[in-house]
């Protein structure tokens, strides 16, 4: 397969594993890269910038293919040392950075000056245009279906992707709700030159997640996600479980809820433990609506080759239907 994305990133198939807190380790990233996609290590899953460097070095022992690093920049009272994480990426020789979050203009300039290729992920056309003006090389655009933070405007991929493809000069990567070759074919037909997946890669052999959580995602339907933090205008799409149901109920309570009250429920450490222990009702687990399409736990190699074959088949079927 050949698109501006495969050429830019030096990968065989235009399939990217998006940054994933607690999941984007060297093992995950290397498995995707070895299967012909682009694996991404999630910087902030590593407790310190030095640990990130070790994880990058570990990834190099697992694959000789290109891989990237994700840096999500969020405003917070006690922010992690973002700049030090970025310096590790630059100095380690990693050539691909995925950014997301609040206005990462300064980070983009610094990484660009160092010759790093930047994919910026966002959820709105105006943010994609501004990232393009700031010099990023490609934009990943997440539709409302996605796992994680879809924003507050609820625009699905079927609308976002073609608008982005029309308005941007740089290549667009479709993200959110893609879990099979049909979705991939649709994304390419909408004008994207690559796809980004999170949830689907969580349900693979190599994902560093307990088998019980993977099985719970396989058993789930497209109706089994919840939107938390809506009332705080910081919406996150997560797996429906005891904790997310409780958070939604508290938010819907007359008078609402203060973040302090739900903080213990939504603590990141709790989500991490749920993923590792398999006790999937014990913490917040990020997942997208495409769980309804996920029916097995393949290796990344099997998943990617199956998706590529199905994508080709769907595109040729559609093309045959469209002939005069
Ligand atoms: C377990 C998990 C953790 C995630 N963590 C992050 C993160 O830390 N930063 C980020 O920008 N996106 C994060 N995402 C979102 C993904 O990078 C990607 O945009 C999203 O999963 C695409 O939607 P999909 O799950 O429908 O494929 C996460 C997704 C999952 C499933």
Is residue 103 over pLDDT 80?
no
Secondary structure (3-state) at 117: strand
What mean pLDDT comes out for the span 51-78?
94
What mean pLDDT comes out for the span 76-91?
93
Is residue 298 over pLDDT 80?
yes
287 touches ligand 1 (CB under 6 Å)? yes
Q: List C-alpha distances in Å: 101 to 20, 108, 118.
A: 13, 12, 14
Task: Give pLDDT tens digits for 246-290.
Answer: 999 999 999 999 999 999 999 999 999 999 999 999 999 999 999
21 CA distance to ligand 1 centroid (A)?
A: 8
Tokens of residue 34, six digits: 């070895």
Cβ count within 10 A of residue 39: 30
271 CA distance to ligand 1 centroid (A)?
A: 14
For residue 321, the model assigns a pLDDT of 95
What mean pLDDT comes out for the span 151-176?
98
What mean pLDDT comes out for the span 95-117?
91
What mean pLDDT comes out for the span 203-223?
98
Task: Give pLDDT tens digits for 21-33.
Answer: 999 999 999 999 9
Q: How many angstroms separate the CA atoms of 55 and 268, rounded?
A: 20
Which of these ranges, 55-59, 100-104, 218-222, has the smallest mean pLDDT? 100-104
Chain centroid to Cα 234, Å, comes to 17
Q: How many angstroms separate the CA atoms of 95 and 255, rounded?
A: 48
Specify whether the CB–CB gap between 107 and 73 falls below 8 A. yes
Closest residue (by CA) to atom 1 of ligand 1? 286
Specify whether the CB–CB gap between 52 and 94 falls below 8 A. no
Closest residue (by CA) to atom 4 of ligand 1? 20
Q: Which residues contact 143 (CB under 8 A, 6 or more apart)?
A: 123, 150, 155, 156, 157, 158, 159, 160, 161, 174, 175, 176, 177
For residue 324, the model assigns a pLDDT of 83
* Most distant CA pair in the chain, distance: 61
């Amino acid at each position: 397969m050949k698109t501006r994305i495969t050429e830019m990133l030096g990968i065989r198939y235009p399939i990217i594993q998006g940054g994933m807190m607690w999941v984007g380790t060297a093992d995950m990233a290397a498995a995707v890269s070895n299967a012909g996609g682009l694996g991404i290590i999630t910087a902030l899953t590593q407790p310190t910038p030095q640990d990130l460097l070790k994880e990058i070095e570990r990834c190099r022992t697992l694959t000789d293919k290109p891989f990237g690093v994700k840096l999500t920049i969020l405003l917070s009272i006690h922010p992690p040392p973002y700049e030090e994480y970025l310096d590790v990426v630059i100095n380690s020789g990693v050539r691909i950075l995925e950014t997301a979050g609040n206005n990462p203009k300064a980070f983009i300039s610094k990484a660009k000056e160092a010759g790093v290729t930047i994919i910026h992920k966002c959820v709105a056309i105006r943010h994609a245009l501004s990232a393009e003006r700031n010099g990023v090389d490609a934009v990943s655009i997440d539709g409302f279906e996605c796992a994680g933070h879809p924003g507050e405007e609820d625009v699905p991929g079927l609308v976002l992707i073609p608008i982005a493809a029309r308005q941007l000069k740089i290549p667009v990567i479709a993200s959110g709700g893609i879990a099979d070759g049909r979705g991939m074919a649709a994304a390419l037909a909408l004008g994207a030159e690559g796809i980004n997946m999170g949830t689907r890669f969580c349900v693979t052999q190599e994902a560093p997640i307990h088998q019980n959580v993977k099985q719970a995602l396989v058993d789930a339907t497209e109706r089994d996600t919840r939107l938390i933090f809506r009332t705080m205008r910081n919406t996150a799409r997560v797996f429906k479980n005891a904790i997310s149901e409780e958070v939604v109920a508290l938010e819907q309570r007359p008078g609402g809820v203060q973040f302090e009250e739900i903080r213990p429920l939504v603590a990141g450490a709790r989500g991490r433990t749920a993923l590792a222990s398999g006790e999937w009702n014990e913490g917040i687990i990020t997942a997208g609506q495409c769980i309804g399409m996920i029916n097995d736990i393949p290796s990344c190699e099997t998943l990617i080759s199956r998706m590529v074959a199905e994508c080709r088949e769907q595109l040729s079927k559609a093309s045959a239907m469209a002939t005069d």
